[in-house]
Amino acid sequence: MIRVYAFVHEAARVPEIAGVDGAPIEQHGRGVSAVVSRHERAAAGDPRHEAVAHGLVVEALASVNDAVLPVRFGETFADNQALDAILRDRDDEIRATLARVCGCVELGVRVAGAVPQRAAAAAESGTGYMEARLALLAERDTVVHGLHDELRALARDAVQSERGGFEGAYLVERPRIEAAYEVVQRFTAAHRELTIVCTGPWAPYSFGGTRA
């Protein structure tokens, strides 16, 4: 079984790091190549440990290469033939995406706020609570949009989602990372009522989709 971690250019540097289950990693393919490890059979370990091992390989690759395209954890192929078929089919797309993310990192931002607690503290009646809560949510949205707009302006690309709280990912050219951190720090200092968590730099996990 072959596990795939990421796509890189053939000339990429592959750091000395073990993959899932301690298996050695290697490059496979010409032009665009896959970074893979080979296994006798599917590992039966804790999938979270395997996921972390996968992620550490991707981050190690991204730390020494300009263009790394992370592959979702769990993609496995029976043999070289099956993997080569995918590499052939997706060659143009992978090449284009590698060019799009080249020289960039991904920064992640999550915003959570203790809206219900603050609304409860501010209100004495049920109606008052709902009004306070709506006002606080609107306030949070204004801050989040401001933060997102400023980061998006600095980034080559940006994606956002709401999963119980705001979540943004920004594809930032390396020389602009500090500027992005400064934006986050300014918002964090100005809005103590919200929890703003910025993580990264990551490999560009959120920018591997097929988009024009």
Closest distance between another protein and the C-beta of residue 145, in Å? 20
Cβ–Cβ < 8 Å for 50, 21:
yes
DSSP character at residue 111: E
Q: Cis omega (within 30 of 0) on the bond before 201?
A: yes
Q: Does 113 bind another protein (CB under 8 A)?
A: yes
Q: Does 166 bind another protein (CB under 8 A)?
A: no
3-state secondary structure of 128: helix
Q: Does 76 bind another protein (CB under 8 A)?
A: yes
Out of 30, 92, 125, 164, name the contact with another protein by CB under 8 A: 164
Size of site (CB under 8 A) for another protein: 42
Show the tokens assigned to 171: 């594809």
* CB hemisphere CA count around 126 (13 angstroms): 0
3-state secondary structure of 36: strand
Among positions 114-143, residues that touch another protein (CB under 8 A) are 114
Closest distance between another protein and the C-beta of residue 131, in Å? 22
3-state secondary structure of 163: coil
Out of 31, 47, 116, 128, name the contact with another protein by CB under 8 A: 47
Show the tokens assigned to 60: 């190690």
Binding site for another protein (CB under 8 A): 4, 7, 42, 47-48, 51-52, 54-56, 58-59, 69-77, 86, 90, 94, 97, 108, 110, 112-114, 163-165, 192, 195, 197, 199, 202, 205-206, 208-209
